[in-house]
Each structure stands twice: as structure tokens, then as C-alpha cells.
Amino acid sequence: MTSWMTPSPEENEFSSPLPPPPAPPAQGASNKSPRRTIGVLLTLVVGFVGGLVGNEVADNWDLSFGSSSSIQSSNSPLVTSQVSPDDESVGDTVIAQVANAMADSVVTISSSIDDGMTTGEGTGTGVVLTADGEILTNAHVVADATEVKVRFAGETEPRLAKVLASDPGNDLALLKIEATDLKPATFAQPGTIRIGDGVIAIGYALDLDGGPTVTSGIISALKRTIITESGALNGLIQTDAAISSGNSGGPLVNFRGEVVGINTAVARSDANSAANNVGFSIAVDEIVPVLEQLRSQAGGQARQEGFLGVGLAERTDGGQGAIISSVQPNSPASLAGIRESDIVLSVDGEPIDGQAGLVAAIRDASPGQTVEIELLRDGKRITVKAKLVARTGD
């Protein structure tokens, strides 16, 4: 079974390029400095061992190929390419252009974390939303944080940030710093993302010194659903652009310089399956409504989730949908006529691929909202309408 890692401060089954220490983005994309140090040490050891082996080989084998005094180093200059000063396009690639354009809109986020059992430091990435200091990141990047700071590329000192609102279910959080004249990132129009589009992931991978890390790839798939330790995430972009710990909360950008998603998780191999270049980003289509909810929450309005009142099970016969394993009495599901063993195929026209997809679809709906649910019952498709209520607990 493939596990997910969210690039964040800690490592979970889904590391959301990112959970808070002491774990490593689905999974976390954030990073702790000790891990980075270990990686560097391993690299140095390998290089040092290689040098020792090379010396031993030279000592035991005659590799001098003669000792003529005529063989000496040259004073000739290094041969380099000729670049015309009038040719501005040379070396100026699309990726470089996008990275330069986004440089002032991407920040590194440092969190002091205390979950009641352990304390530590977490690192992630954020995207500037407004000129007056709103910043968007993953909820797992700032989970259990007692203090949050952000730093812009080229600056030496961090700025104190306040967590205005957080939605762990959708893995997004809204921060605010005291600032003016910041450069907001430009987001793509919802509905314009296509499979095969070239994309660039930007973020502070592994909390490496210097500016953000830039990797490139394509959009591999759309509307993916995964389950992280924070819950179900739906409507995700899948990409093969490299996403690592520390990338959590950073932007996935198209070749026009528009943010198409927020990087949140990566798949990692386990004993039963192999995963390569499978990362996930929260699509702009999901970001737009969640941002409205975060701003309302910051203004004092409590966040409410929809509730249907069913138990679920996954299909194991290779088919699509989620199986209703139980129905609570007098719940919206019961009143709508949903029965045990029904298979949910879609909600409001959006296909439900599995249990996580239904959980996320109902969670993101509002109490009082009526949803249209397509069911498969005894081999026949039927449609029912359910008026959701507010979730009152787990």
C-alpha cells in the first residue's frame, strides 16, 4: 500500500510537504534541521571514501602513464561560448522567467511547535496573497505552532506572522504579517488547468540555505483524492515535479507564472508498492472557496461542515464509488432514502471515486445545503436529494 507524505515539519503517513515536528507532506513537506545535517554528512562521507579508494588504487597500480617532463599543465584559457549582448533570450528560459517573477511572492515559514508532548521547529513555504500581508500555506505547516515567522528571499531577518485561520480538513491556513506593498502571486482561473501542462514547484525544500528550490514537471492527473492524517483531501492536482519536505505550502505554478495549486503531499514507497515522482497540490479550484471560508473564520464566523449521517466502506470489486455501510436514524441520509449497501457514484455531478471522495464532498458542503446524490442500488442508478445538517462532532 502506498503511503503519503506531506512536505511539512514532521513526517506522517501522508507527509504534507508536511506535518509539524518531530515528524517530517500524504508526507509532510516541512523539514527539521537535524535531518538535513545527516543528509549532508552522508554525502561528505561518500565523497571522502571515494577519495581514499582512489588513492589506494593509485598506490597499487602504476597509472602515471610515463613521467616525461614535457607533460605539464597548460596556460590556455577555458573555451567558453560566445554570447551576444544584444541577444537577451540566450539562457533566459521560461522556467527562469517564472522563478524570477515569483521570487518576491514566495516565503519560507518557520514554526515553533508544541503539541503538548514534544517541542520542535518546523519549516514550510507560503505564498503572498495580498499586498498588505496575507499569506497562504498548508495547515499542517503551522499546526500546534506557538510562534510563526516568515522570511522573504533576500532578507536577513524574519517577520512575525499571525495565524488568522486554519482548515485542517482542507490543509490550508491563512497567515498575516504587518507589511505594505508586497507582491501578490497571480492565481490561475479555476477550470483552466489541463493534464500535460508544464508546471514548476517552488519552495524551501529541506530548509536549505539560500533562496527557494525550483523543480519542474507536468500535471499528471486532476481531481485526485487521498487520505492524510488530517483527513481526506479531494480535487488534487497530481504532478511529477519534485516535491520535498519544506515544500509544503509552496506554489505549483504554470508556465505563465500563475499559481495552479498549493503543494501539500507526496507518495512514498513501502514494502508493497513503489512510488516515483508522485506529488499532490491543492488545486486553485479548491483554494478559492476555502479561502473565502478562512477569511470568514478570521472574521469570527465559526467554520461548519456538512453532515450526511452514513458509514462508508471501499469497493473491493474494482468498481467506482463508495459503499454505504450504515445509515444513522433520522439523519439527512435516512430522510433522503439512502440505504445500506447503496453505492454512491456522484455528488452534485462530481464523480465519487472512493470513500475519501465522499467524505471530502460532504465536508466541504454547507449545513442547510441540498445535495444531489447518484446511487447504484441493485444494479440500477437512482438519484436522491439530501439536505445536510451541521457536523456536531467526530
Q: Tell the burial category of 48 from Cβ atoms under 10 Å away from its Cβ (0-12, 13-18, 19+).
A: exposed
C-alpha cell at 119: 517541542
Question: How far, in whole angstroms, is CA 356 from its chain's centroid?
Answer: 17
Q: Please say whether the beta carbons of 265 and 16 come within 8 A.
A: yes
Q: How many CB atoms lie within 10 A of CB 45?
A: 10
C-alpha cell at 21: 515536528
Distances (CA, A) of 232 to 167, 170, 171, 237, 267: 12, 8, 9, 14, 15
Closest CA to 218 of 204, 199, 231, 232: 199
Q: Which of 15, 105, 110, 171 is catalytic?
A: 171
Q: Are strands 159-167 and 172-176 parallel, antiparallel or unpaired?
A: antiparallel
Q: Does residue 68 have an active-site annotation?
A: no
Q: Which of 15, 220, 248, 281 is catalytic?
A: 248
Q: Which of 3, 15, 30, 140 is catalytic?
A: 140
Q: Does residue 171 have an active-site annotation?
A: yes
C-alpha cell at 286: 479548491
Q: Please say whether the beta carbons of 263 and 284 come within 8 A.
A: no
Catalytically active residues, by annotation: 140, 171, 248
